[in-house]
Amino acid sequence: LEKFIMTAKTVKDLFIHSLSDIYSAEKQMTKSLPQLARAATNEELSAAFKTHLEETQGQIDRIDRLVEGAGIRLKRVKCVAMEGLVEEGREQIEEIEQGPVLDTALIAAAQKVEHYEIAAYGSLIALAKQLGETEAATLLAETLEEEKATDERLSLLAEQKVAAEALGK
Amino acid sequence: LEKFIMTAKTVKDLFIHSLSDIYSAEKQMTKSLPQLARAATNEELSAAFKTHLEETQGQIDRIDRLVEGAGIRLKRVKCVAMEGLVEEGREQIEEIEQGPVLDTALIAAAQKVEHYEIAAYGSLIALAKQLGETEAATLLAETLEEEKATDERLSLLAEQKVAAEALGK
Whether A167 and B92 lie within 8 Å, measured CB to CB:
no
Residues 139-168 of A with CB under 8 A from B: 151, 155, 158-159, 163, 166-167
The torsion angles phi and psi of B79, rounded to 5 degrees, stand at -80, 105
pLDDT at A165: 78
SS3 labels along chain B: CCCCCCCCCCHHHHHHHHHHHHHHHHHHHHHHHHHHHHHCCCHHHHHHHHHHHHHHHHHHHHHHHHHHHHCCCCCCCCCHHHHHHHHHHHHHHHHCCCCHHHHHHHHHHHHHHHHHHHHHHHHHHHHHHHCCCHHHHHHHHHHHHHHHHHHHHHHHHHHCHHHHHHHCC
Report the percent of chain B where pLDDT is more than 70. 91
Residue of A nearest to B96 (CA): A8
Alpha-carbon distance B81 to nearest alpha carbon in chain A (angstroms): 5
CB contact under 8 A, B81 and A80: no
Cβ contacts (< 8 Å) between A96 and chain B: which residues?
A: 6, 8-9
What pLDDT shows up at residue B7?
59
Min Cα–Cα distance to chain B from A68, Å: 23
Within 18-37 of A, beta carbons closer than 8 Å to B belong to 18
Helices (H), ranges, chain A: 11-39, 43-70, 80-95, 100-130, 134-159, 161-168
Per residue in A121-141, pLDDT tens?
999 999 999 999 999 999 999
- Structure confidence at residue B33 (pLDDT): 97
Across B129-153, average pLDDT: 96
- Enter the ipTM: 0.88
Note the pLDDT of residue A64: 97
A50 to chain B, any CB pair closer than 8 A? The answer is no
As a whole number, mean pLDDT of residues B33-53 equals 97
Stretch A4-22: mean pLDDT? 83
Class of residue A17 by CB neighbours under 10 A (exposed 0-12, middle 13-18, buried 19+): buried
Q: Tell me, what's the pLDDT at B4?
A: 45
pLDDT in tens, B89-100: 898 899 899 999
pLDDT band at B81; cut points 50, 70, 90: confident
Q: What is the pLDDT of residue A7?
A: 59
Residue B41 · residue B98 · CB < 8 Å:
yes
Nearest CA in chain A to B85: A81
Query: What's the pLDDT score for residue B80?
Result: 82
Per-residue confidence at B8, pLDDT binned at 50, 70, 90? low
At residue A40 the predicted structure's pLDDT band, cuts being 50, 70 and 90, is very high
- Report whether B158 contacts A123 (CB < 8 A): yes
Nearest residue on chain B to A10, alpha-carbon basis: B101
Q: Considering the entire predicted model, what is its pTM?
A: 0.91
Contacts of A127 in chain B (CB under 8 A): 104
